[in-house]
Every structure is written in C-alpha cells, then in structure tokens.
Amino acid sequence: MNIEFKLPKAFICKGKSCIPQSFVLVKNITNQIILGVPFINDIFPLTHWDNNKIIGTWNDKPFILEFVTKPFTRMINDLTAKLLVSKTNQVSFIKQEINSIEVDHILQNPKLQEKIAILKNQMRPAWPPPPRRGRGGRSNSERGGHILAQQGNRTLTSFNVSHSTASSNGTSGIDTNHPMYKEFMDFMKSKKAVDNSPPSYSSVLIDDENIKVFDMNDKKEVILLLEESDLKWRNEPWQIMARYLDTVSYTATVYKYIMHYEMILSSTGCEFQHFYPANTKKVYNFSKLIIKRIIAPEEWGMSTLKEMDYIHPEQKVAVKYNYWDYMEGFNKVLLYENANRKHSWFIKICSNIFDRHVPNWFCKWWTLYGPSIKILPESYKKLYLEWVDISPKLIKLQEENIFFEGMSVMYFFMEFSIPWIMKWSVEVHNTSEGFPCLQRTVYTKFWSKLLQKRANYMARKLWT
C-alpha cells in the first residue's frame, strides 16, 4: 500500500463530539474505509449495538455511529467456525443439564409429592390381573372370586365376603377387622343384588350417600366414547375413567390443573372455599362456589381473545387467559372428585346478577349443573308459581320471545339467591347414535338449612 500522506492530528467528529485520531492517505484503495481498532477502543464501553448503529462512550457522553451498510457475520477461518460450533454445543448441553436440575428440584416440592402419593394410592390395574394360584393349585377365578375392591396389594373378593367366618389370615390376605371389610359385610347383610351377583364398590358408595335424596338431571354430558373391549367394566365406570383420564386433581382430558381455572374465576368475580375431612387435609370433602359476577362477551373488550392475567400464588408469575378460558372455567372447576367419590359442591348465584344480561353459554351451563324446580320444598314451590306470573323480567323476556328450557327456574334461583348442593357421577350408556360412551350425570338437592327463614324473607320480598 503506497502511503502518500499522514495526518497525525486528525479528528473524528459526530455532532459536537470529536475524537483525536491518526490517519494515512493512500491511492487507489478498493475497499470501503472502516474504523480501526484503536478508534473502537476509544469509545469503550459500548452500551448498545444492533443492525443499524453502535453506541459507545466519549467523555462520559453517548457517541452514536450509524452503519453505512447492514453488518453481517463472517467466519474468519474454519478453526474459528469449529470453535464456535463446539462452544455452542457446550452451552446447549449446559442448558439441558440446568433444566434437568430444575425438574429434580420441582419434584421435591411437598405439594407435588403429595399429588404423586395420591396417584400411587389410586392406581389400579387397567386390566384384570392373571389368576393367581393359591394353595392346592386352585386360582381365585376357579373359586368364583369376583373382585369388589383393591387397596394396595390387598384384594377384597366376593369369595372373601361370602365366607364371613374366614380367618383374618385367610388365603386373600384380608383382615376381617379392617373397616373396609366390615363396610362390605354390613352392606352384604342389608342388601342382596337382584341378579344374585356381587355388588360393585361404586354401588356401595352410592348407597351409603343415600343418592335418593338428590334429583338426577335428565341431561347427560358425554365424556368419551368407549370401545367394545371397555364394556366388560360396564358396572365399574370409575375404573374406566381412571384408565383414560387424569383422576388425581380432577377428571378431565386437559393438562391444566383445577387451580388454574379457580384462579381465573376468582379474579373475575367468583369465590371458592374448600373443606377437608377431620382426619386429613389431603383431599376436599366438599367445596363452596359463590358466583358474584358473570361476564358477557361484550364486557370483555374488543375481542374474546383479549388476554388478562392473574398472579400464580406459588410461582409469583403472571398467567395469561382469554374469554374462552374464562367460559371453560365454569365447567372445569366442578370436575374435582376425591378418591372416595363423595365430594359435593355448595353453589350459589348472587342476586345482583339477576338484573344483568346473562350470556347464553351460562344458560347452557345451567341446564347441566343447575337444579330443577323439583328439589324445592313445598313452601318454595308455592312462591315460585306466584313469582312466574308477576316477575317483570320474566314477562319482558317472554314478550321478546326469549325462552329456553329451565329459564324461569334459573332466574328464580338468581333473584332470591337460592343455593343448592351438587354432585356428579359417571355411568356407561349409549349416545343417541348408538355408540357406547362414558357419560357424566349430575345430581342436585336443596340446601335444607335455608328452609324456613329464607322462605319467610322471600315471601316478603315477593309482595313488596
């Protein structure tokens, strides 16, 4: 390179900032002039850089230089390229190792360990185990042993129940002094199956809860379609449920826990409260849901896809949701069920909702989880018949030709804020097309503690 001149006291200026530099002048240069390393060192530290500019520091002030052309990455040589690839792979490996450590740390969470323990206790064999040979070479199936319930490695069969005089260390390994054994013995003495076949454990539970005091909803919700091979467990629908769905936190097909939907509804106008049995705090015995607000689509914002968020109570991070998650929450939160299949809900809709617009999706929700007029005591039914004829809102809806099945009952429960008790169970049935399916049946009953005091209050409100 032929150097013609040298400028020892030149300045690079940008705006009012000038940096002293040495320059040389050459002839016939073919490459674009670039700023050398000494100049770059002078504006250290670099505070920002992107595809358009770099920002350095000169005399404690920002010094901005824009690129003439967009920069691009170029490997200096193959050795550098291989080194960068190697370092990139090493960083990826370290990230995977960190993720693995985080998973191990999360698994140590006591609440997660508790859920894992509940899952282990609830796990049952998906298919009947092969017959085991007992003493004398005879299998349980040859002795007519029908499995009624299983707890850990102990199995209660119809053979053990019918032979009540068997010793506590009999061939089944069932302790006759165990509460579960006594429960079945009492049931077997008080009730005999119509077809002389051993009753299922689910039928014992339903009988113990006196399901007759509940009113069964005529509408059923199809959970999933079954295959013909599933029908051998027709009398054990909960066992079919456990084979296909998550029954630890609640029985549903999605991966989101019930807490996610509770937090959505809690942040949008609902109140939850859960109650535990006296001997444990690992499962809910019954729960309470107070609906204080129902948001219509037009109240959500410009779009139902508009996202809101709540703060996760443990991880302290924002979790986003939209209107569709909000609607789904009213169905998902009610799907909790404990291992004993004895959980129930106390549900109440506050009277302030009566004067607001109720969206159609909530009316559809009511047809499945709401009660019918049949659960009301006679004093309430009498008030209902009077209210139907004089309710201004009901009359207005009828004039606008707005009607759906159960509408008057829903608004009656809303205006007077009448609570009800709800529980649900599963059963095997056929769809209208004839496909075998597992379906959800909802049961409701009146909250008896409300009876006399509220009836007098409602009568005064009706005629004032």
Establish if 352 belongs to a structural domain.
Answer: yes
- Do residues 351 and 440 share a domain? yes
The per-residue pLDDT for range 262-293, each reduced to its tens digit, is: 999 999 999 999 988 877 767 788 899 999 99
Establish if 356 belongs to a structural domain.
Answer: yes
- Give the residue numbers spanning the domain of 382: 215-462
- Do residues 246 and 348 share a domain? yes
- Do residues 406 and 314 share a domain? yes
The pLDDT score that the predictor gives to residue 191 is: 46
Count CB atoms within 10 A of the CB of residue 259.
Answer: 16
Q: Is the pLDDT of residue 7 over 70?
A: no
For residue 300, give Cα distances in angstroms to 297, 306, 308, 323: 5, 8, 10, 7
- Do residues 221 and 183 share a domain? no
Confidence of residue 189 (pLDDT cuts 50, 70, 90): low
- Do residues 274 and 389 share a domain? yes
The pLDDT score that the predictor gives to residue 186 is: 60
Contact 337, 343 (CB under 8 A): yes
Distance (Å, rounded) from C-alpha 335 to C-alpha 251?
A: 6
- Min mean pLDDT across 12-21, 73-82, 347-356 is at 73-82
Contact 46, 55 (CB under 8 A): yes
The pLDDT score that the predictor gives to residue 361 is: 95
- Which of 14, 33, 66 is the C-terminal boundary of a domain? 66
- Which of 66, 96, 115 is the C-terminal boundary of a domain? 66
Establish if 338 belongs to a structural domain.
Answer: yes
The pLDDT score that the predictor gives to residue 259 is: 86
Angle at 38 between CA 37 and CA 44, to 5 degrees: 90
- Do residues 231 and 363 share a domain? yes
Establish if 72 belongs to a structural domain.
Answer: no
The pLDDT score that the predictor gives to residue 133 is: 44
**What average pLDDT does the segment 336-349 reach?**
88
Establish if 362 belongs to a structural domain.
Answer: yes
The per-residue pLDDT for range 389-437, each reduced to its tens digit, is: 899 998 898 888 888 888 999 999 999 999 999 999 999 999 989 999 9
- Do residues 176 and 233 share a domain? no
- Which of 66, 91, 108 is the C-terminal boundary of a domain? 66
- Do residues 292 and 348 share a domain? yes
Token representation of residue 177: 């002094």
Establish if 118 belongs to a structural domain.
Answer: no
- Min mean pLDDT across 107-111, 180-184, 304-308 is at 180-184
- Do residues 183 and 289 share a domain? no
- Do residues 310 and 361 share a domain? yes
Contact 63, 14 (CB under 8 A): yes
Phi-psi region of 180 (alpha: psi -120 to 50; beta: other; left: phi over 0): alpha
Establish if 117 belongs to a structural domain.
Answer: no
Distance (Å, rounded) from C-alpha 25 to C-alpha 270?
A: 78
The pLDDT score that the predictor gives to residue 33 is: 52
- Do residues 361 and 231 share a domain? yes
DSSP H helices, 316-406, are 323-332, 360-369, 378-390, 392-399
- Do residues 159 and 296 share a domain? no
The residue with greater pLDDT, 102 or 357, is 357
The per-residue pLDDT for range 364-388, each reduced to its tens digit, is: 999 999 999 999 999 889 999 999 9
Establish if 255 belongs to a structural domain.
Answer: yes
Confidence of residue 308 (pLDDT cuts 50, 70, 90): very high
The total number of structural domains in the chain stands at 3
